[in-house]
Amino acid sequence: MAFDKTLEDLKLDYLDLYLIHWPARLRKGAVGINPEDFVPVDIPTTWKAMEALYDSSKARAIGICNISTKKLGDLLDVARIPPAVVQVECHPVWQQTKLREFCKSKGVHLSGYSPLGSPGTAMYKTNVLKHPVIVTTAEKLGKTPAQVALRWGLQMGHSVLPKSTNESRIKENFDVFDWSIPDDLFAKFSKIDQASYFHFITLNPFEILWVYFFSREVMSSATIYFVNTAEKS
């Protein structure tokens, strides 16, 4: 079982939190991610296995990543043990308003990965840290745009999961707990236009996942693909 292998690799007896990373299903023996390898998703059966791990105390909490509001609602309808955490991309330019409000109403914690919009990667092109609202707020508070983006998430009630291998940036990311964004500036974040686009020079396997689960529109031309993954609020 994948879970037991994880415990073995980590040399642990239990995990505090175990997540379904992608609510996807591929045929047995599939290599890589190809459209023809997708089979109907059976989240309820997978969730029963997650519940068994929770019952065994090997997983102290269970959750799911990259799931839409509708699919989360479907899961809650059949779950004996509801997910403790839903983990999705979340930042000021993709605030996950509909999903966030639904999670709050159901007592599910929202955890936001890519809270800075993954600057410097080839995949993400949202320019979160260059948004005028974030830049202006940072200048007024004497903070960096990254700190403002992280603080926004904390004040929204999320946990935030920034990633960096740069020591100075790691320290910068930790400096978000002893100050806050004032209400007048914080209110401006709700006015930010929401858009999240994935930019591929060629058809990347991860695009298939986003199209399969989340996309509302796919725009293509020659070798450039844009996938709009923002859930409509």
Residues in binding site for substrate: 21
Q: Which residues are annotated as a binding site?
A: 21
Q: Which DSSP helix (H) or strand (E) runs through 85?
A: strand 85-89
Q: What is the DSSP string of 73-88?
A: HHHHHH-SS--SEEEE
Say how far apart CA 53 and CA 78 lie, in whole Å: 17
Phi, psi of 151 (to 5 degrees): -65, -35
In Å, the largest CA–CA distance within the chain is 55
Q: For residue 100, give both structure tokens.
A: 């966030």
Phi, psi of 9 (to 5 degrees): -65, -40
